[in-house]
């Protein structure tokens, strides 16, 4: 066996190894969704003074946009719950789906969660709304 | 030889007795556990935590020497600074039971106190508004409420929590319950009490 044959054999062996290694490469894992904070999964129950909703939004360009969209989603949920309870239908809502004016809604401290997604950013916020205020709006909608 | 045989017999007997002792009969299993047992640690407030909180504030009130027949009403409890569920109704029930057992102080819920009419309802809303917005209490409102609802003191509550990550994916949460009992006749603070509950919770526990 001359030098050229030895080199050819070594190259063939290397190539076989490379192919085999390539085959063994693991398939790409799907991206694991982030673990949401417990308050986003199970929001607070209504207590004697406030009721609570979790608003969410996804695939926004910036974390701030995502947070704002999640807050708007929470306001829409509150508004829908009020018009349903008042029995007046969604015609009372503004084009944005929110009752105007909407005073008293507050994002709870430590209840904003923003995480990056493939399409940008997603956000969750937990918002409180006073029950007294809710009753006032219901009375106004019912014309009392 | 006979002595060796005797010793072996004794050793065998001791061994048999010892082994029999090791094989104790298993007690019948049951799903019931003592209600006071603290159970699995969760990040939210659990039954054991409510017991601790109710016991803390009632102990404090009983130890302050409030006059016999003093009527306490549970006023607003602000839980906005806590992301997790705080069951005020459960606390209310625990307080009611503790007061009833103790006997000298009386306990009333805000709903029962407001059964007297719309005037009480309106004044209670004002008191609640001031508490929730950290405004100073209006003594006149307190006096009117006390007179109409026939209560001597309003118990106000504030619940907050702080959470931080620990090494190994664990989390630490500290709940802080601040209670204030205001006298409806004088507007003065009669009892101020703070109860803290601190828990370490493992990864994935809710």
pLDDT at A6: 75
CA dist., res. A42 & res. B144, Å (int): 40
pLDDT at A4: 77
Contacts of B81 in chain A (CB under 8 A): 108-109
Interface test with A, best of B84, B89, B171 (most A CBs within 10 A): B84
Contacts of B86 in chain A (CB under 8 A): 44, 47
Contacts of A48 in chain B (CB under 8 A): 76-77, 88-89, 110
Per residue in B77-109, pLDDT (tens digit) is 999 999 999 999 899 999 999 999 888 899 987
**Structure token pair of residue B133:** 């917005």
Q: At residue B28, does pLDDT exceed 80?
A: no
Per residue in B131-165, pLDDT (tens digit) is 988 888 899 999 999 999 899 999 999 999 999 99
Per residue in B105-121, pLDDT (tens digit) is 999 877 776 666 688 88
Report yes or no for ipTM above 0.90.
no
Per residue in A26-40, pLDDT (tens digit) is 666 666 777 889 899
CA dist., res. B32 & res. B184, Å (int): 45
pLDDT at B164: 92
Q: Which of B75, B71, B50, B32 is nearest to B195 (CA)?
A: B50
Question: Quick check: B126 contacting A, CB < 8 Å?
Answer: no
> Domain limits of chain B?
47-201
pLDDT at B191: 94
A50:B80 CB<8 A: yes
DSSP chain A: --HHHHHHHHHHHHHHHHHHHHHHSPPPPPPPPPPPPHHHHSPPPP-SSEEEEEEEEEEESSHHHHHHHHHHHHHHHHHHHHHHHHT--GGGS-TTS--SS--S-EEEEEEEEEEEETTEEEEEEEEEEEHHHHHHHHHHHTT-
Chain A nearest-CA residue for B132: A49
Question: Quick check: B139 contacting A, CB < 8 Å?
Answer: no
Average pLDDT for consecutive 10-residue bins of chain A (144 residues)?
74 64 63 83 89 95 96 95 89 85 90 93 96 90 83
Domain B47-201: CATH class, spelled out: alpha beta
Q: What is the mean pLDDT of chain B?
A: 86
Question: Quick check: B121 contacting A, CB < 8 Å?
Answer: no
Fold of domain A38-141? Dodecin subunit-like (3.30.1660)
Per residue in B32-66, pLDDT (tens digit) is 888 877 778 889 998 889 999 999 999 999 998 89
Interface test with B, best of A34, A43, A48 (most B CBs within 10 A): A48
A106:B86 CB<8 A: no
């Amino acid at each position: 066996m001359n030098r050229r044959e030895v080199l050819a054999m070594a190259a063939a062996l290397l190539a076989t190894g490379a192919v085999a290694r390539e085959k063994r490469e693991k398939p790409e894992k799907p991206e694991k969704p982030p673990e949401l904070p417990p308050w986003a999964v199970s929001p607070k129950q209504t207590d004697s003074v406030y009721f609570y909703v979790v608003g969410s939004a996804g695939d926004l360009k910036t974390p701030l946009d995502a947070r704002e969209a999640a807050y708007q989603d929470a306001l829409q949920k509150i508004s829908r719950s009020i018009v349903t309870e008042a029995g007046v239908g969604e015609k009372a809502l503004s084009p944005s789906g929110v009752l105007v004016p909407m005073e008293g809604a507050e994002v709870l401290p430590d209840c904003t969660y923003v995480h990056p997604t493939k399409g940008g950013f997603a956000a969750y916020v937990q918002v409180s709304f006073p029950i007294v205020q809710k009753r006032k709006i219901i009375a106004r909608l019912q014309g009392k | 030889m006979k002595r060796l045989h005797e010793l072996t017999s004794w050793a065998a007997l001791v061994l048999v007795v010892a082994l029999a002792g090791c094989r104790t009969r298993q007690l019948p299993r049951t799903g019931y556990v003592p209600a006071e047992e603290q159970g699995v640690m969760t990040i939210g407030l659990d039954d054991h935590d409510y017991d601790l909180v109710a016991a803390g504030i009632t102990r404090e009130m009983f130890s302050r020497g409030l006059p016999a027949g003093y009527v306490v009403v549970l006023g607003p409890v602000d839980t906005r600074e806590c992301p997790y569920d705080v069951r005020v109704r459960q606390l209310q029930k625990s307080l009611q039971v503790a007061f009833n057992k103790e006997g000298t102080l009386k306990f009333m819920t805000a709903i029962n106190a407001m059964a007297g009419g719309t005037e009480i309802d309106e004044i209670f809303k004002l008191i609640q508004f001031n508490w929730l917005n950290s405004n100073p209490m209006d003594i006149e409102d307190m006096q009117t409420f006390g007179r109409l609802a026939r209560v001597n003191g309003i118990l106000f509550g504030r619940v907050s929590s702080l959470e931080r990550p620990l090494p190994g994916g664990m989390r630490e949460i500290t709940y802080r319950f601040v209670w204030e009992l205001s006298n409806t006749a004088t507007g003065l603070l009669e009892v101020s009490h703070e109860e803290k509950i601190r828990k370490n919770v493992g990864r994935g526990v809710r």
